[in-house]
Amino acid sequence: MIRKLLLLGLIPILTFMWSSCDQTRQSTEQPNVLLIVADDLGYSDIGSFGGGIATPTLDTLAREGMQLTNFHVLPTCSPTRSVLLSGVDNHLAGLGTMGELKTEEMEGHPGYAGYLNFEVAALPEVLNAGGYHTYMAGKWHLGGAEETSPSARGFEETFILVPGGGSHWSDRRPLSPLQTMIYRRNGKTVDALPDDFYSTRYYTDILLESIGQNHGDGKPFFAYLSYTAPHDPLHAPQEYIDKYKGKFDGGWDVLREKRLQGLKDMGIVPEDASPYPRLPSVKSWDEMTLVERQEAARDMEVYAAMVDYMDEQIKRVFDYLKEIGEYDNTMIIFFSDNGANGAPRTAYPGQTDEYLSSFDNALENRGLPDSYIEMGPGWAQASMSPSRMFKAFTSEGGIHSPLLVKLPGKMTNAGTMNHSFFHVRDIMPTILDLAGIEHTKEFDGHSVRPMQGKSVLDLWSGKTESPYAGASRIGYELFGLKAFFDGDWKILWMPPPFGKGEWELFNLKEDPAEVNDLSARHPERVASMAVMWEQYKTDNGVLDISLDLSGVE
């Protein structure tokens, strides 16, 4: 009897000790990582960056975490993603150009393979080898063959769209007749989609299923939620489109000024900043016919609906992580892969008038199944206000991305904003730093490139106000368009009519819109930075090849 009482008395003590040990284990275990990438999202679209689209989930994330206002990516989708998953320049990772835009001169150069090459160790490969479950749902765009699919590059569970875009519905209509919308589940081609398929919801469903199936086995997860929203063709459920009816009837110039004022009010851009002028190819709203204005306003309503819907799906993920007790032990990263897309549908390789005329783009059907509409340059300029140009360009409109970060636990710097420059190449080193995993010099029996980026974890955690020395010294080249950053200074080379066909110089702190070319005033700075770009070109194997971008203005 005494033994029994003693044993009963020990049970609460043992329970407390076990609970304390379990809490200690949870507080010291490797954190989960949730990486969310939007596709062609504009800089000022979400609420915490001054936008008028309903994004309460992302706005809450900004309050719980940190808002980074000077984060830079690449001008288009796949080059950004190659740097994200390798920590090196896109020319070293295999995406010196997009795979669908390869030319004969690029053949035989591993930096222009058109897929994430095997000279790098991909982030999921390194994390998986370090004990992580690895899941992906959404856009891949880093290789069309099975041997270059995410299942072959370290992801355990995947549902992916192989190419860069296409219909968000189950009909799988591609961006142009030359392309094919291929979906794969765990490396195997998916023959049919559910009738009620909508990309943003379905990707979220798959990711939640993947996280849930291994929950409780003691291993952390890396989850890559790679949305295709709001990439064109713009598609959204009717009820979400209806929420924005009439919101954009004032036109793109009005929206551009509203977005700029929102950024000023939040202290993201200087009070005296002026927007880059509306492109000559974009009509004034007053010069447009009533039908043109109605259709253009509807297109932006659909775009806004896509962003709104994506925000709701992200909330589903957050709610599930809270439900299973993993939210507080998860690093969350959200950003856009490039600037808003101002290119017309006709710019896609292999596009034909016959294919485009096969869609029903009547006003009442725009954004619904069997339609094909795009944002266009007018709205893209507004979405990237005050920046110059948009997706595909090395000017700020193509490469300036909103970034939100939440570290595990309660952040002491929650709700703060940081204006330090750093680059997408720093994301992988930072994730590995938090996970306590060393990058490898060899992987799968062969040597791999060291990462060029470095961890910015101290910046994100508030331990420092700026990243490592050299974070803001970085070069760019894509489609023959060039840039180089050195602190607040940037040189930019773009051909006419987009630029001068020679190096221009800007102080981005004073002139974020790249309006005032200072090259004549500071020729010595231009010359020294041009030398830095030439060294960047040599170090990263950049080829002297230009592509015709006249169709994207």
The token pair at 349 is: 């390789």
CB proximity list for 326: less than 8 A, separation 6 or greater: 32, 211, 215
CB neighbours (10 Å) of residue 261? 14
Q: At what angle do helices 376-383 and 252-265 cross, to 10 degrees?
A: 10
- Is 21 annotated as catalytic? no
Single-letter code of the amino acid located at 48: S
Helix or strand holding residue 293 (H, E): helix 290-323
For 367-387, b/e burial (b = at least 16 CB within 10 A) is bbeebbbbbbbbbbbbbbbbb
Whether the CB-CB separation of 116 and 110 falls below 8 Å is answered with: no
How far apart are alpha carbons 264 and 270 in whole angstroms? 6
Whether the CB-CB separation of 523 and 284 falls below 8 Å is answered with: no
Mark out the alpha helices in 101-198 (DSSP H runs). Answer: 123-129
- Which member of 141, 168, 231, 235 is catalytic? 141
Cα separations (Å) of 482 from 280, 388, 542? Answer: 23, 14, 11
- Which member of 72, 77, 91, 400 is catalytic? 77
- Is 231 annotated as catalytic? no
Residue 331 forms beta bridges with which residues? 33
Q: SS3 sequence, 352-382?
A: CHHHHCCCCCCHHHCCCCCCCCCCHHHHHHH
Active-site annotation, residues: 77, 141
